[in-house]
Each structure stands twice: as structure tokens, then as C-alpha cells.
Amino acid sequence: AFLDARGLLRDPKMVNRHSIAYYSRDQMKVMGLYINAEDKGQPLRRAWHVFLLVQFSALYASMFYGLLKSLDDIVETGRDLAFILGMFFIVFKMVFFSLYADEVDVLIDIMEDSHHAEVKGPGTETCRAIKRHDFLLNVGLDFVWVVAVVVFVVLLIVTPFWADQSLPIHAVFPLELHDPAKHPIAHLVIYVCQSFSMAYLNIWLVATEGLSISLYAQVTTALSVLCVELQQLRHFWGDSSEDRLRLELTRLVRTHQSIILTVDRCNQLFHGPLIMQMTVNFLLVSLSVFEALMARHEPKVAAEFMVLMILALGHLSLWSKFGDMMSQQSLEVAHAAYEAYDPSVGSKRIHRDIGFMVRRSQRPLIMRASPFPAFNLSNYMA
């Protein structure tokens, strides 16, 4: 994706070869944690999954054991809960993609078809510019998100060097294997395993969130392209025959219907992850603020939780922003369809089809997981 973005910056006339969701899926496949029907039959992938499952299970169990040992310290307890919640969200996403990767593939294929659809007429360059702009925006946000996560992971890994703790994440093992004074080699192994797990899981989480949110972003792009096609309908097809005009309008109506069905499908597929995301982010922000206040006498530890809070808020605000963009762009379809209306061109059937698009577009498309409200900036700020 970054190489494609570099090419687009060098040549403004280029169009990205694939959608951002396609590249995000490739990143997850490279990391070995995108388990669709094709990957399940590969022995090396299965062995890698088993290795990761054992390592992450041991890490999660040790974190719970550490939580039980830190109940007397409210600061340490809150810190443990924050990381257990974050770890739980990541594990939930792993399970989700292991169960529904094939359904996600179907959505990505739909987005790929939409991306590669050529627009004919005077709006061709405008549509290409829209696709380039949206692709570069997504790549830029991914880059910022990766940098923020890397900063957080680095702070986490180096915490034992300047804080009163021996591991990046508080964990307790049988026989006190985590104690560097009693078992230095075992402690080193645990430190390396925790560092690897945190780096791996957080980078993988960026890829999964990039994939999930890019599906809705691609819908926004498709709506923008649809608006351009509707706006050029009056000028480009005005001199065409009645049959040709009707065929083109029918295609646009079906395209709009396909977009609506795709949004419904995304909301149904990601219903669980969206609910989990909102719940975990709310709890993480609350715990991070609490921990930062309790650790105010240790600025470096407080800074770690401030970064965690910013990541959680940024995560939620990013989803809300993209949900808001999709809703706003879906309303623009009504304006574009109204601009395409010309009482002097076409039959009553064509006018009726345009009116149908105008009425249907007045109800915005939303990113939502019931019973929670829609993901948009208004609800986010409230």
C-alpha cells in the first residue's frame, strides 16, 4: 500500500491498483493471522497458529494470575485490568477473523469490483482523482496509526528499565519464574516473549482495524463516484437515445442499491466487533484516566497511560469520523440525482427513477451496531 501511495504521489494521473482493504488483508496474511478457507489447509500456517495460540494463552493466563496478586495495590490492579481488556479485544478480533474471514473476503471482492469499475465520459478524471485522494488519505491515516502504536509499544517494552517493574506487562508465573533475581534466564525469556507478543499483536490490530474501517471508507468512495456519474448524466446522456439513457440510469440505480446492501452486510458482519470496540474503548479510556491520575507522581508511567488513552480515543474518533463521512456522502447522492433531473429530457419513467433515487438517498447510510447509536461525530462528541 505504501509503495502504491508513493507511485500516486509521483504520478498524479495514476490510480491505485487495489483498494486499501485488499492491501490490509495482504498485511494480515503476511503476519499469518488471516485464517480463511485457503489458509486453513496449509500445514505451516496451522503450525504458526498453534504456536501463537500457545504463546498468547500463556501470556493471558499469566496476566490474570498477576491481577490476582496485585489486588492490594489499586494502581497496579487498574493497570492490569487495562492491559487485560486490551488483550481481550485483540483476542476477540483474532477469533472473529478466524470464523468470518471468508465472509470478509466476499466484501473485499465487492470493493475490488467497485474500485476497478471504469467510469466513461467527462467525469472519468474526476472519479480517478476521488479514488486517489481517498486511497492516500487511508494510507496516511494508517501510517499515523502505526507510528502511534510503535511509540506505545516502545514505551511498554522499555518500561522495566526505568520503572519499578521487571516486565513490560505485570505477570506472575509459577515457581516465581518472572523474578530476575531467582531465575534470570527464565525472566529474560519471558521478557522477550512479552515484547514480541505486544509488538506483534498491536501491529496486527492496526492491520485488522485498517481492513475493517477501509470497507466503510471504500463505500464512501463508491458513493462519491456515483455522485459524479449522476451529475454527468444530464450533460453526457442528454443527446443520447431514450433507451440508452434509461439503461444508464438503471445501472446507476442498481449501483446505488448494491451500495446500500453492502453497508447492511458490513453492519451485520461487524456487529459483534463494533459492540466490543465501543465497550472496550470506553473502559480503556476510563481506566487510563484513572491510572494516569494515580501515577501522577511517576511521570513516565503516567505518560504510558496517557498514550493508551489517546490511542483509545483516537481509535473511536477515527471510526466515528469515517461513519460520519459515509453518512454525509450518502446524502449527497440525493443532491446529485436532483441535479440530473431535466424535465425536457427523457420519459416519465426516467423521471420516476430519478425521483426514486432522490427519495431513497434522503435516508443516510449509517455505521451502526444495535443497540448502540450510530458511529458519527455527533454521537461521539455527545
pLDDT tens column, 280-329: 888 888 888 887 777 777 776 677 778 778 878 888 888 888 889 999 99
The set of cell numbers assigned to 50 is 498453534
- How many Å is the maximal CA-CA distance in the chain? 89
The dihedral built from the CA positions of residue 188, 194, 197 and 201, taken in this order, carries a sign that is: negative
Check: CB of residue 108 under 8 Å from CB of residue 307.
no
Number of domains in the chain: 1
Amino acid 268: pLDDT = 92
Residue-wise burial string across 338-354, b where 16 or more C-beta atoms lie within 10 A, e elsewhere: ebbbeeebbeeebeebb
Q: Residue 118's closest CA among 261, 228, 24, 10?
A: 228
Q: Residue 219's closest CA among 146, 110, 121, 298?
A: 110
Residue 6 in any domain: the answer is no
Predicted confidence (pLDDT) per residue in 152-191, tens digit:
788 888 877 776 677 788 778 777 777 777 887 888 888 8
Residue 130 in any domain: the answer is yes
> How far apart are the C-alpha atoms of 64 and 84, rounded to whole Å?
8
End-to-end CA distance of the chain: 35
Residue 9 in any domain: the answer is no
Please state whether 346 falls in left (phi above 0), alpha (psi between -120 and 50) or beta: left
Residue 14 in any domain: the answer is no
Residue 12 in any domain: the answer is no
Residue 10 in any domain: the answer is no
Name the one residue in this structure whose C-alpha cell is 465520459.
Answer: 121
> How far apart are the C-alpha atoms of 132 and 127, rounded to whole Å?
9
> How far apart are the C-alpha atoms of 230 and 67, rounded to whole Å?
58
Would you say residue 381 has pLDDT above 80? no
Residue 113 in any domain: the answer is yes
Residue 314 in any domain: the answer is yes
- For 56-65, 168-177, 339-348, which range has the lowest pLDDT when averaged over its residues? 339-348
| Residue-number span of the structural domain to which 274 is assigned | 19-381
> How far apart are the C-alpha atoms of 322 and 328, rounded to whole Å?
10
